[in-house]
Amino acid sequence: MMDLEFIQNQVLMILTRVKNQLRQDPSFETVQTKSNRNDLVTNRDQGIERQIVDFLREKFPTARIISEESWHQQVNDSRGLIFLVDPIDGTMNFVKCRDQFASMIGVYVNGIPLFGAIVDVMQNQVYYGGPQMGAFCDQQPLAGLPDPSLAQSLVTIGQHLLIDPQAPYWPLIRQSSGLRVYGSAGIVWTRLLQGKQQIYISQLQPWDLAAGRAIAAALGIVVRAIDAHPLNMLKSQLVIIGTKCATTEALKVISRAQEL
């Protein structure tokens, strides 16, 4: 059950299938709002989630599954094998742009990241890896990442955090090389993994965090809760993700800004 190669093969098989379906037909019939008017779910999010969950249930009958659109299947502890599934991350982009959205699966054992995979659907790219196996894009190992200063780093801050003018993130942006906002955690993860940006701060759900965190571990990318509590893969939390130097500097800038 915990055979890493089998897990990797199954996760990549279902995500590749989903990617190809979405590329062939990136349309949807219904779109509904969830927590707010910009938090969307389409029939495709739901259908793809069902497809992934059914597949994983068949292959891993004793595992538990946490997935975005059916969070009501409560998982209250981290024991054993858990799959965290985001069928379409960046649903607003899927609906409005038909690009810059991702599908993600993270695999954890007793709360420890084992494996993750992220597909950038419209770029037709599959990122995957884990702490023991390294990080890959389409079978090619991802290059080791440089460790630039904050001044040399591109940063993404979740837009719900930016919209507060009192937010302590503006001094950080001013000290960086610039802000980028893509509207999909999965897309930001792919850019972090490729060294195309260095910092990501956002309030993230377990399924936004799980796959990227597992792959990032192989590249030395730091992932931590911003209030310094240990990460909890069962709840939403404010996290900072980034290369080492830039993350250390960013946390200092935020902490100074919060003192003022």
User: Any idea which residue has 């902490």 for tokens?
Assistant: 255
Binding residue for a copy of itself, selected from 24, 35, 140, 163, defined by CB under 8 A: 163
Backbone angles phi, psi at 187, to 5 degrees: -65, -40
Q: How far apart are CA 66 and CA 150, in angstroms?
A: 34
Of 97 and 112, nearer to a copy of itself (C-beta) is 97
- Number of residues interacting with a copy of itself: please give it, by CB under 8 A: 29
Residues 187-226 that bind a copy of itself (CB under 8 A): 191, 194, 196-197
86 labelled binding-site residue: yes
Looking at the Cβ atoms of 96 and 229, the one nearer to a copy of itself is: 96
Stretch that binds a copy of itself, among 53-61, 90-98, 133-141, 251-259 (CB under 8 A): 90-98
Q: Which one of residues 1, 13, 112, 181 is an interface residue with a copy of itself (CB under 8 A)?
A: 181
Contacts of 113 (CB under 8 A, 6+ apart): 106, 107, 130, 131, 210, 213, 214, 217
Among 17, 50, 59, 98, binds a copy of itself (CB under 8 A): 98
Backbone angles phi, psi at 47, to 5 degrees: -65, -40
150 CB contacts (<8 Å, ≥6 apart)?
Answer: 172, 175, 176, 198, 199, 245, 246, 249, 250, 253
Residue-level length of the chain: 260
Interface with a copy of itself, residue 256, by CB under 8 A: no
Cα–Cα distance for residue pair 216/247, rounded to 1 Å: 14
> Can you tell me which of 119, 154, 192, 199 binds a copy of itself, judged by CB under 8 A?
154
Of 76, 166, 228, 260, the one binding a copy of itself by CB under 8 A: 166
Q: Which is nearer to a copy of itself, 102 or 210 (CB)?
A: 102
**Least separation in angstroms between CB 21 and a copy of itself:** 21
Q: Residue 159 in contact with residue 90, Cβ under 8 Å?
A: no
Residues making up the annotated binding site are 68, 86, 88-89, 208
